[in-house]
Amino acid sequence: MSTESAVLEPAVAPRVATDRLTQASRLLDLPFADLMYQAQTVHRANFNSHEVQLATLLSIKTGGCPEDCGYCPQSVHHETAVADEPLMQVDEVLAAARVAKESGATRFCMGAAWRGPKHRDITRVAELVAAVKGLGMETCATLGMLRDGQAETLRAAGLDFYNHNLDTAPEFYGEIISTRTYQDRLDTLERVRGAGISVCCGGIVGMGESRRQRAGLLAQLASLDPQPESVPINALVRVEGTPLAGAQEIDPLEFVRTVAVARILMPHSVVRLSAGRSALGEAAQALCFLAGANSIFYGEKLLTTGNPEAQADQALLARLGMRARA
């Protein structure tokens, strides 16, 4: 069987993760041109290849997180320059959302550095969600692990998406995080689905994992049933004071391969270029769009790390003959 016919046929239902792992590994190992061709073919069959969704991410509660994620400058376990800040007020968040909307963003994502929100926190975040929803924007939140009933509260407030990343492959997960398990993450995703909220779930590459382990992450994401509506692909941003500050920077073409395989395995998902775009450069970003990425985080900051400026993004899209999705 040729590699092309093995990939372009409809994906098998995600029953056995090992099947997905084999598929993801074979895709990542394809000659670059063949992989890009297949990814572009899948992308054009499911999306307008000239459109990119613009999303903005705001840290509504920064620092002081009890988790020990090795990549995160907001962890209390790491000595970084990130200061603890309380949950923002409604008027502050609304002001940021209005700026994002005026700049072209259609989705507004709110992130809080919690292991998981308390019930009083959910009530306050629900107010923020309702306020942003009132502006006519899609709403997304990432607040850590959810307890029973919390997702329903957020859904009632108008939350469209909940982000909870798997981060990496199961077999590499313990090298990055020890304070929560892989199953904890899957349980939160199940609660989100049960409440009728769309899932935003992706991961981070460039944390020292092997290509096989990157395939493992993609296989796990593709095995979620149903598959995530939104899949953010992050390149590690190396922050001084975190355990991964000295990690080797990922090869930009390897990042593009990851995006391409995500597109092939999850043909109906929005694939978002997230953290680490600044280090990739414009040429690699252009290849990511060719590989099927059709959303970017837009604005000058992602939670606590830098991001390309909005004007630079607009200029790049214009040079590529692409446009923001309305």
DSSP H/E element including 163: strand 161-163
> Measured at the alpha carbon of residue 173, what is the angle toward residues 169 and 177, in degrees to the nearest 5?
150
Active site residue: 69, 124, 155, 263, which one?
69
Active site residue 65: yes
Active site residue: 180, 272, 277, 288, which one?
272
- What the block records as the tokens of 63 is 């620092």
Active site residue: 107, 185, 200, 277, which one?
200
Between CA 41 and CA 26 the distance in angstroms is 17
Ramachandran region of residue 226, left (φ > 0), alpha (ψ -120 to 50) or beta?
beta
| One-letter identity of residue 245 | A
Between CA 312 and CA 316 the distance in angstroms is 6
Active site residue: 20, 109, 238, 263, which one?
109
Active site residue 201: no
Active site residue: 140, 191, 201, 288, which one?
140
| One-letter identity of residue 242 | T
Active site residue 69: yes
Active site residue: 65, 107, 124, 238, which one?
65
Please list, in sequence order, all residues whose beta carbon lies within 8 angstroms of the beta carbon of residue 126, skipping any fewer than 6 positions away: 153, 154, 156, 157, 159
| One-letter identity of residue 65 | C
Active site residue 140: yes
Within a 13 Å sphere around the CA of 21, how many CA atoms are in the beta-carbon half?
Answer: 12
Active site residue 288: no
Between CA 82 and CA 308 the distance in angstroms is 20
* CA dihedral of residues 141, 136, 190, 170 (deg, nearest 10): -50
Please list, in sequence order, all residues whose beta carbon lies within 8 angstroms of the beta carbon of residue 318, skipping any fewer than 6 positions away: none
> Measured at the alpha carbon of residue 12, what is the angle toward residues 269 and 182, in degrees to the nearest 5?
65
DSSP 277-323: HHHH-HHHHHHHHHTT--EEE-SSEETTEE---HHHHHHHHHHTT-E
Q: Which residues are catalytic?
A: 65, 69, 72, 109, 140, 200, 272
